[in-house]
Amino acid sequence: MKIAGKRLAEIIKKSVGSTLVGPSWKEVRYFHPEGKDMPNGSHYQRGYFICECKTNASSFVLDEEVHDRQYEQERYRGGVIVFPTDINAAEVDDNQLSHKIKRLITVFKYHPQKDSILQGVVKIFDNKEENCIGAFSVGHYFKGKYIGDKGNVYNEKSIAIEINGLSSKSLLTIAAMIARKLRQETVLVKDLNKNKIYTAASIPDDAASDAESEK
């Protein structure tokens, strides 16, 4: 069944609420371990700074099973979603957090109708059938360090999700959805499609988004 463009936009806005417009995504141009900006010093200082950023940006470790199981989804490589270390403190342990994330992604992938936030979002975004969640894995896939604008720390202890089959736009949306479900205001994303790194701030939690969607 086809839905007119205007009606489709209304459905997305109502079902997704502030999740799409809420997060302010920012590309991390200089991925320095301490979250620093380019120094105003000598060429040597700047060169060393850029080297640190490149080394840090190469600290994402891909799961071979996920990365190799692209099937027909080679057009969309997905990426890695990394949560700050303080998310671990809010949960009992890594196993419990990992199980919760896997359960969320399973719902996203196979049963989006069970959550009003998810209905049709993955396929609607790019309107291409091949843009969908492929293989995914939960673990520790970031071996570097990064400190966000609000002091959030990401390092080798951070829980991360590697996921394929998604375009850049859908990857960021899924990242925001999962962060919202886990009541996280920020998240770090490595986009393998564009080879860029993004951070999001002020992601609304479930309560805030539900209240907004009811207005």
- In the predicted structure, residue 182 carries a pLDDT above the cut 60: yes
pLDDT at 35: 95
12 C-beta neighbours (distance < 10 Å), count: 16
Query: Cα(7)–Cα(178) distance, rounded to whole angstroms?
Result: 26
Which structural domain, as residue segments, surrounds residue 78?
Answer: 5-213
H helices of 111-183, in order, are 121-126, 168-181
- The pair of structure tokens assigned to 51 is 């080297």
161 bridge partner residues: 81, 138
60 bridge partner residues: 142
- In the predicted structure, residue 132 carries a pLDDT above the cut 80: no
Strands (E), the chain: 24-27, 79-82, 136-139, 146-147, 153-154, 160-163, 187-191, 196-201
Whose tokens are 């499609």? That residue is 193
pLDDT at 27: 95
For the chain, how many structural domains are there in total?
A: 1
- From 59, 67, 76, 90, select the one nearest 179 (Cα to Cα): 90
- From 136, 137, 147, select the one nearest 56 (Cα to Cα): 147
DSSP 8-state class, residue 71: T
Query: Cα(198)–Cα(186) distance, rounded to whole angstroms?
Result: 10
Would you call 4 helix, strand, or coil by DSSP?
coil
- In the predicted structure, residue 119 carries a pLDDT above the cut 50: no
- In the predicted structure, residue 185 carries a pLDDT above the cut 70: yes
Q: What percent of the chain has pLDDT over 90?
A: 33
Asked which of 108-122, 141-155, 175-189 is least confident by mean pLDDT, the reply is: 108-122
- The pair of structure tokens assigned to 9 is 């936009």
- Place 104 in a pLDDT band, splitting at 50, 70 and 90: confident
Q: What is the pTM of this model?
A: 0.74
Between 55 and 118, where is the model more confident?
55
DSSP 8-state class, residue 49: H
Whose tokens are 């109502």? That residue is 14
Query: Cα(3)–Cα(47) distance, rounded to whole angstroms?
Result: 53
Query: Cα(143)–Cα(159) distance, rounded to whole angstroms?
Result: 11
- From 122, 96, 126, select the one nearest 110 (Cα to Cα): 122
